[in-house]
Amino acid sequence: MSKEKKHEQTAQQPPEQHKYTETAEQTEQAAATPLTELEKALTEENEKLIAEAAALQQENDKLHKTVKRLQSSADKSDTYLNQLVAMKNDFESYKRRMRFNAEQAKTEGVQSVIAMLIGVCDNFELAKQHLDGDNLKAFEMIYAQFLQILHQFGVEEMDVLGKPFDALRMNALSKLDRGEQNKDLVVEVYKKGYVMGDKVLRYAEVVVGA
């Protein structure tokens, strides 16, 4: 081969190399374009996630405030409920006290009236000593009816004659020697004693054996 032909072949090689270089640049540009779009898509998705996270945070803050408000309302409700229960208990106690006071006042009123009627019993006892025959029978019937009314109210005469002296139910007017067998026993009753349940309406006035 001649030197001229070799020179021509060598001169023609650079254009081919330049063509190859341009093709690589185009390939790199083509490859770079999808990467840019992917980054953009990822950026947009990231921004959406950030926005959603911010929205969720705001919603969480709202829920937290709502929970605090509800808790505050619940605490107030518990306070009001406790106050209501306390008021109810106080009212129930008040009603019990009023009922007890009313019953006590009624009982004391009845006892006060009966205590005055007991004095009438003494008069009946004295009057019996001066009556006889039909008058005594009629009088005893009236006296029995009177005692029956007292019994309906729970009033009972004390049965103390011949019983041991009881300072809680009797008043000793004196002591008499009636034998050793009657020592500290009631040997005489001057005035009958009366009770209404556990309440002594009048103490029995008695003489005790010495």
CATH code, domain with 164: 2.30.22.10
User: Would 129 be classed as within a structural domain?
Assistant: no
For 131-166, what is each residue's pLDDT tens digit? 787 788 888 888 888 888 888 888 999 999 999 999
The number of domains in the chain is: 1
User: Would 31 be classed as within a structural domain?
Assistant: no
User: Would 207 be classed as within a structural domain?
Assistant: yes
Instruction: Tell me the mean pLDDT in the region 175-197.
Output: 90
User: Would 30 be classed as within a structural domain?
Assistant: no
Segments forming the whole domain that contains residue 186: 156-210
Report the Cα–Cα distance between both ends of the chain, in Å, rounded: 179
pTM above 0.95, yes or no: no
User: Would 182 be classed as within a structural domain?
Assistant: yes
User: Would 206 be classed as within a structural domain?
Assistant: yes
For 4-17, what is each residue's pLDDT tens digit? 444 444 444 445 44
| Lowest-pLDDT range of 15-19, 101-105, 199-203 | 15-19
Instruction: Tell me the mean pLDDT in the region 104-116.
Output: 82
User: Would 186 be classed as within a structural domain?
Assistant: yes
User: Would 108 be classed as within a structural domain?
Assistant: no
Pairing assessment for the beta strands 170-176 and 204-209 based on DSSP bridges:
parallel
CB 124 within 8 A of CB 81: no
Cα 185 to Cα 148, 159, 166, distances in angstroms: 29, 12, 9
Give me 148's structure tokens. 């029956």
